Homo-oligomer: A and B are copies of this chain.
Amino acid sequence: MIQTPYLLFLGDAPDALAAKVAQGIKDWRPELAVGQLRLPGCNADMDIDDLTIDEAVARGAKTLVIGVANRGGVISGSWLDVLKQALSAGMDLASGLHNHLGDEPALVELAAQHGRKLHDVRIPSVDYPIANGKKRSGKRCLAVGSDCSIGKMYTALCIEREMRQRGMKASFRATGQTGILITGAGVPLDAVVADFMAGAVEYLTPDNDDDHWDLIEGQGSIFHPSYSGVSMALIHGGQPDALILCDEPNRPHMRGLPDYHAQSLELLRDTVLLLGRIVNPDCEVTGIALNTSAMGEDEASDYVAKVEKRMGLPTVDPYRHGAARLVDALG
């Protein structure tokens, strides 16, 4: 568990895309960010207060989150001074970069000296159990994709937001670095050892109130040969009651795999339902979330309506149109 609230460190992000993690926190947990810290040359802006380390501490910031992904995932020299200042001023650090805070001797030493924590969210911090497959109380919804990076995290977050606005009990459950940094907790599933993947998902979504929903962030795709094992562990560890199919139209091929064409939503529905019912006979596909970010407004509405008619399931772009109809379908 990463302590909140955060100071968002944008470093020298060359563009908005590089600050994806900070943007996610700003979009989904704005109440967790007291402000941002930018270095000269930074071209990203979260449109929140620019703060120094001391100002952030004065506003109660507990953790500096590295909200920027730079080329190669390296912790650059120009960042180190700021990170050291943050530790000295009493903040923890959190990062999802490939290179670890814990591999920087200067940071490790300073953190020890000040009793602060370094959170490398790519490294599992728990010895997860082997899954026991037991039925848990509470409800679970899993976003499953036809491909990687297709909107599964945003879909789960949209559903959580809509549920909370309705006063329903709902928890987004992060399974990737960005999701963990957004919410301050979760499981970095793609870094977990194979035998413990499904157990890590069970750990992430424990027994809960009967009317509580876990909105589980999906990973990879059962159709993506590089990562399908992770997707499988999410279906069997998550024991979802409801599956939301996530798709982005017009992808020329599977992400990173020119030889693999997109599969149909029908095959996705049939495959995940077959697999989901192995652990939960009541599992249903309850809706479809389309990522229409590359389309204009009219084109998107037409496309969504067409898919809804074809599939006979509530279909929306949840980020564009809201997740109300997906939540309606969950009862």
Contacts and interface: CB of A to CB of B under 8 A. Distances in A.
Interface string A178-215: 00000000000111111101110000000000000000
Contacts of A193: 190-194
Interface residues of A, number: 41
Contact of A131 (B134, B225, B231): B225
A274 interface: yes
Interface stretch (A18-26, A48-56, A255-263): A255-263
A3 interface: no
B194 A257 contact: no
A196 to B, nearest CB: 9
Interface stretch (A79-87, A232-240, A283-291): A232-240
Instruction: Give the top 7 A-B pairs by smallest Cβ distance, nearest first.
Output: A229-B233, A232-B232, A225-B236, A133-B225, A229-B229, A131-B226, A190-B195
Interface of A: 130-135, 189-195, 197-199, 222-223, 225-233, 236-237, 239, 254, 257, 259-260, 263, 270-271, 274-275, 278-279
Given A133-B259, A271-B274, 4 more contacts: A223-B278, A229-B229, A229-B236, A271-B275
